[in-house]
């Protein structure tokens, strides 16, 4: 094992958080801003890089930071280490409602491909890179499907997803998915982006212009409510200058008389 071994417990239903138990000198890495609470013996430090290659030098760290910038994530990861005695707890939660999925990379051939904003935290020794869609033209129009996270190692990784989570097992099958609904998939699955039907369907169907196509044998994790879909719906119902009584009968009448 190259990665640190972690003990964990996940709490909650639709607003989950994960408690990770660290033995002395053990470390967990996490996205900036995901820490919920720490016990007394836990110290933390923001670093440029995931720490999977301690001797990579400054140039290697800058390259890794550049890759993270492409996924719109912070170029820094926070390293939480048990610097005290005995077992200590660090807890992490995502910034929007959803589920946390624990993935053991040692059971998946040491690699998983994940949506670019799904990584929450992982054992030190985990490498977090990026994977581009091979079909560049379709990828540029495919939105979330263009850049994915390439997570490698042999320890535990925790990813976060919105809504209801479903795990599907493909056996030489093909599954077409909205690009935002993908959480993660095993590397034995081939991934492409294709047009969503004819021109009329693409423009007026409301399902986006492209769909992700997953083919092969392996596991796929899907989410029913991608954060961008939730955010779009909220923004569509936000009226500049809206008041607290908006949507009520009184608010509607007052708006009528104001016109």
User: In this structure, is residue 50 part of a structural domain?
Assistant: yes
Residue 227 included in any domain: yes
**Could you give the percent of the chain with pLDDT greater than 90?**
41
Please answer whether residues 66 and 77 qualify as being in contact, where contact means their C-beta atoms are separated by less than 8 angstroms.
no
- Boundaries of domain holding 14: 7-239
Is residue 86 assigned to a domain? yes
Q: The domain that contains 16 carries what CATH number?
A: 3.60.160.10
pLDDT at 102 over 90: yes
Q: Is residue 255 part of a domain?
A: no
pLDDT tens digits, one per residue of 168-177 = 999 999 998 8
Residues 6+ apart with CB under 8 A from 113: 131, 148, 149, 150, 151, 184, 185, 186, 187, 189, 191
β-sheet bridge partners, residue 123: 28
Residue 82 located in a structural domain: yes
119-160 tens-digit pLDDT: 999 999 998 888 765 554 444 544 454 678 899 999 999 999
Residue 168 forms beta bridges with which residues? 220
Residue 106, sorted as left (phi over 0), alpha (psi -120 to 50) or beta, turns out to be alpha
Q: What is the pLDDT of residue 172?
A: 95
192 — pLDDT class (breaks 50, 70, 90): confident
Q: Is the pLDDT of residue 40 over 60?
A: yes
Strands laid side by side in the 119-123 sheet:
42-47, 77-82, 27-31, 119-123, 156-161, 99-104
CA distance 150 to 153: 10
Residue 233 CA from chain centroid, whole number: 20
Residue 3 to residue 1: CA distance in whole angstroms? 6
Question: For residue 109, which of 154, 169, 149 has the smallest C-alpha distance?
Answer: 154
Least confident interval from 28-37, 38-47, 52-61, 71-80: 52-61
Instruction: Count the helices and strands in the chain (H runs, E runs).
Output: 5, 17
Pairwise CA distance, residues 136 & 53, whole Å: 29
Helix (H, G, I), strand (E, B) or coil at 140: helix
The domain total for the chain is 1
In a domain, 244, yes or no: no
- Residue 151: per-residue pLDDT: 93
Tens digit of each residue's pLDDT (9 = 90 or more) over 197-251: 555 544 544 455 678 889 999 999 999 887 766 666 677 777 565 545 444 444 4
> Which pLDDT band holds residue 60 (cuts at 50, 70, 90)?
low
Question: For the residues 19-32, what does the mean pLDDT come to?
Answer: 94
Question: Can you name the residues that pair with 194 across neighbouring β-strands?
Answer: 211
Q: With contact defined as beta carbons under 8 Å apart, do 211 and 176 qualify? A: yes
Residue 234 in domain: yes
Least confident among 105-109, 135-139, 157-161, 193-197: 135-139
Range with the lowest mean pLDDT among 1-10, 17-26, 134-143?
134-143
Query: What secondary structure letter does DSSP report for 107?
Result: G
Is 159 part of any domain?
yes
């Amino acid at each position: 094992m190259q990665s640190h071994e972690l003990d964990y417990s996940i709490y909650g239903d639709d607003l989950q958080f994960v408690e990770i138990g660290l033995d002395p000198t053990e470390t967990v890495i996490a996205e900036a801003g995901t820490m919920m609470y720490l016990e007394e013996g836990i110290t933390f430090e923001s670093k440029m890089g995931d720490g999977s290659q301690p001797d990579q030098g400054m140039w290697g760290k800058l390259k890794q930071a550049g890759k993270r910038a492409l996924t719109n994530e912070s170029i820094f990861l926070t390293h939480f280490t048990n610097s005290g005695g005995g077992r200590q707890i660090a807890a992490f939660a995502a910034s929007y409602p959803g589920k946390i999925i624990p993935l053991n990379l040692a059971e998946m051939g040491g690699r998983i491909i994940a949506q670019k904003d799904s990584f929450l935290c992982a054992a030190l020794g985990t490498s977090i890179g990026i994977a581009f869609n091979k079909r560049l033209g379709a990828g540029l129009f495919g939105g979330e499907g263009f850049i994915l996270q390439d997570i490698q190692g042999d320890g535990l990784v925790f990813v976060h997803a919105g809504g209801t989570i479903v795990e599907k097992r493909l056996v030489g099958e093909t599954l077409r998915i909205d690009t935002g609904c993908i959480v993660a998939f095993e590397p034995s699955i081939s991934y492409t982006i294709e047009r969503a039907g004819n021109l009329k369907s693409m423009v007026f169907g409301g399902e986006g212009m492209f769909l992700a196509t997953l083919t092969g044998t392996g596991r796929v994790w899907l989410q029913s409510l991608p954060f961008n879909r939730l955010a779009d719906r909220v923004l569509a119902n936000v009226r500049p200058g809206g008041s607290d009584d908006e949507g009520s009968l009184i608010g509607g009448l007052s708006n009528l008389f104001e016109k």
